[in-house]
Amino acid sequence: MVEALRKLLLAGLGTLDLTEEKARAVFNDLVARGEMSEKDAREVFATWSKRAGEQRSRLQQDIDTAVTRALSVMGLVRRSEVEALRTRVAELEQRLGVTPAKVEEPAAAEPAPTPDVDRSGN
Domain ranges of the chain: 2-96
Name the nearest CA neighbour of 101 among 89, 110, 111: 89
pLDDT digits (tens, 9 = 90+) for 46-104: 888 888 888 878 878 888 888 888 878 888 888 889 999 999 999 999 999 988 777 66
Does residue 45 register a pLDDT over 90?
Answer: no
Does residue 21 register a pLDDT over 80?
Answer: no
Phi, psi angle pair for 7, to nearest 5°? -65, -40
| DSSP 8-class letter at 109 | P
Contact 41, 28 (CB under 8 A): yes
Q: What is the pLDDT of residue 1?
A: 43
Residue-averaged pLDDT of the chain:
76
Q: Which amino acid is at 13?
A: L
Instruction: Tell me which of 89 and 20 has the higher pLDDT.
Output: 89
